[in-house]
Amino acid sequence: MLKEFKEFAMKGNVLDMAVGIIIGAAFGKIVGSFVSDVLMPPLGLLLGNVDFNNLFITLKAGASAGPYETLAAAKEAGAVTINYGVFVDAVIGFLMVAFAVFLLVKNVNRLKRQEAPAPAAAPTTKECPYCLSTIPIKATRCGHCTSTLSE
């Protein structure tokens, strides 16, 4: 069983998939950082100094009563919150990753060489015009009715 697992794990497709998952995870972190650290601050500034990571609704106050200035303060107090700003941040990150993957797949498909269609194979048989039996294409006499065939 160990030998079978080793053969499975060492197949090219499994290794390719593992590399893809590792690169995908790293790419996801890069896009997440881009969204949180580069894209969202100017967007929040345009929307009136909104920090998306601190957009939340307090469902139940924690040990100290609210209102809480930041999400970190609410969590520290033990408040129950709906963190919709973090959700918006994650949705934008997902859309950016999905768009980047779409562009990658689109360009890879465009760059793939179009395989030429295989030429049609030459026929190897023909029909006898007298008995309608199938005979080899090079036959000069039908093997079924013994008629002489013209070329």
> Looking at the structure, do residues 45 and 93 belong to the same domain, yes or no?
yes
Report the CATH number that the domain containing residue 93 is assigned in CATH: 1.10.1200.120
> Looking at the structure, do residues 126 and 149 belong to the same domain, yes or no?
yes
> Looking at the structure, do residues 46 and 87 belong to the same domain, yes or no?
yes
> Looking at the structure, do residues 36 and 6 belong to the same domain, yes or no?
yes
The pLDDT tens digits of the residues spanning 31-57 come to: 888 887 888 788 888 878 777 788 888
Q: Domains in the chain: how many in total?
A: 2
The pLDDT tens digits of the residues spanning 100-147 come to: 888 888 887 887 766 666 777 888 899 998 888 999 988 888 888 888
In angstroms, the CA 4 to CA 10 distance is 10
Q: Among all chains, which residue has been given the structure tokens 């360009």? A: 107
In angstroms, the CA 45 to CA 71 distance is 18
> Do 124 and 136 touch, CB atoms closer than 8 A?
yes
Amino acid at 31: V
> Looking at the structure, do residues 87 and 149 belong to the same domain, yes or no?
no
Q: What is the per-residue pLDDT for 134?
A: 92
> Looking at the structure, do residues 23 and 43 belong to the same domain, yes or no?
yes
| Boundaries of domain holding 92 | 2-50+83-113
Please state the rounded mean pLDDT for residues 84-94: 85
> Looking at the structure, do residues 38 and 97 belong to the same domain, yes or no?
yes
Q: Please indicate, yes or no, if residue 67 is contained in any of the structural domains.
A: no
In angstroms, the CA 103 to CA 126 distance is 51
